[in-house]
Amino acid sequence: MKNLVILVTIFLALATMASCKKKKNIPDAPEGLNFSTTSNSLTLTWIDNSDNELGFYIQELNNGASEWKIKTYVAANETKFTYSIYMLDPSTSYRIVAWNDDGESEASNAVYVPTYSSAMAYIFVCPSSASGACGQNYLVLDGNCRQVTADYNNGGWYNTGFEVVGNNSYALQFCQGCVSNCGQAASFTTPPFFLKGKFNTGIYNYCNNDPCTPSAFIE
């Protein structure tokens, strides 16, 4: 009987040691989760605190939901991931979890990413404009007219002063008058929502000379 007690005690001790050892092999939790946005993309960045993870889960919590769900998987040692707006739900929280064969880490801090239903439309016009836009005095968006208040001959980003809403199609054109002697309309469709209050359509690039393509998004 005494030997049996000793054997049971040894077994329990070994089981406890194995359990502790297994727990130690679970990855350490990532931390420092942060985000940055353009008008239609979200970038998440975090700190990888472990050297034994097999990958990361990016989890999301939608507005009104009570349970975190896995949005996507990211490879081991990654500390950055970018989503297109078309892969996102509006106004959602995100967090990161490391995992390996022994289990999952604690979750990182969570970040809430706000979205917007409307935004200001910006355009980019270069010098040596192929369309003659630099000499025009007005902008017209779907029949609504605004006077140009900047020198197009210098080129660069310009706030049209027009507010646009998500999931809508628009036509914008340059005019000599309000509304007269207008050039050909350029059409664009807005994304379902915006991640920034300032929205760059990304299609108004009136150039004779290359390269003069603007950066993809205005900050």
Which residue ranges does the chain devote to CATH 2.60.40.10? 26-113
Q: Rounded to whole angstroms, how far apart are CA atoms 62 and 83? A: 16
Q: Rounded to whole angstroms, how far apart are CA atoms 217 and 215? A: 6
Q: Rounded to whole angstroms, how far apart are CA atoms 131 and 125? A: 10
pLDDT score recorded for residue 82: 96
Task: Provide the mean pLDDT of the chain.
Answer: 81
Residue 155 in tokens: 């080129």
CB 82 within 8 A of CB 74: no
Return the CATH number of 118-206, one of 3.40.190, 3.30.2310, 2.40.50, 2.60.40.
2.60.40
**In the chain, where do the E strands start and end?**
31-37, 41-47, 55-61, 69-75, 80-84, 92-100, 103-104, 111-113, 118-125, 138-141, 144-147, 156-165, 169-177, 180-182, 186-189, 198-206
**Strand, coil or helix: 36:** strand
Confidence of residue 7 (pLDDT cuts 50, 70, 90): very low
**Span of 24-28, 185-189, 200-204, 210-214 with lowest mean pLDDT:** 210-214
Q: Rounded to whole angstroms, how far apart are CA atoms 148 and 133? A: 10
Cis peptide before 211, with omega less than 30 degrees from 0? yes
What backbone torsions phi and psi does residue 19 show, to the nearest 5 degrees? -65, -45
Instruction: Check whether 103 has a pLDDT greater than 90.
Output: yes
Cβ atoms < 10 Å from Cβ of 170: 18
26-113, what's its fold?
Immunoglobulin-like (2.60.40)
The pLDDT tens digits of the residues spanning 104-133 come to 999 999 999 999 999 998 877 765 554 455
